[in-house]
Structure 1
């Protein structure tokens, strides 16, 4: 099949050649559209904003206790670990763990850990961790620093009244330490 040349220098196309040329143009255009769509799909997207919404069972203003409900994301294992960290004086790790399990912000987690009380839901874990922290404190610093101010004042009163046994009992109740460690702490009280 040959094409005849016209006077103005352009070839004269047969119907078959014209359809073939139109088909090629359509394929090229469709290919370009597909290419542009594929490149747009590869464009980096803006990250979606993730908004944390606390559950209705979590009160934002209430001070934290370790007996938080399971709905807050704290499992008994997490509570026991936070108890251990708080008792050992590792507040930063406790805050990180609390945030990890609850999804709250840094300020709220810090406030909760600042007001954390050792759990009564896992007494064996709490007593062990509290006792180990207390034993460390007895050897490294003042036993008075391990107790609330009111308990320390009661022990001062008992010692001034020469009631050393009652002071040891009170110290044991507040620290979870054994008899020997508590006696040693009371002996070095002043």
Structure 2
């Protein structure tokens, strides 16, 4: 076997290994803080969801929260994971996203929807779909 053929094989294998590593990295979900969405729920819904969380019925709690808030699955799971049933559903961790809503509206006006989605992703660690849904749900956008 000639040296040039051997080097060609080594180079081809290296390119394939590098490409697989890059693709694996692209499929990896974004890591970042999960931030609960500001919830505008009535007291009845909050107490129902709190009761479900308190009795460790998280799937039913996620389903009920999605019915009331129109959140995506990942967003609703993040909220339920931080739900504190002792305080009737006040999330136990994460900042209030009221400021994020107003700053996102400003970004939409100034730079467009794509920049607003990037802004939300940078501040929450959410994936593209959750951030897009958040921007789409804002009133007046």
How would you bin the TM-score normalised by the shorter chain?
Answer: 0.3 to 0.5
The higher-RCO structure (CA 8 Å, 6+ apart) is 2
Higher helix share: 2
Larger Rg: 1
Q: TM-score, normalised by structure 1?
A: 0.26
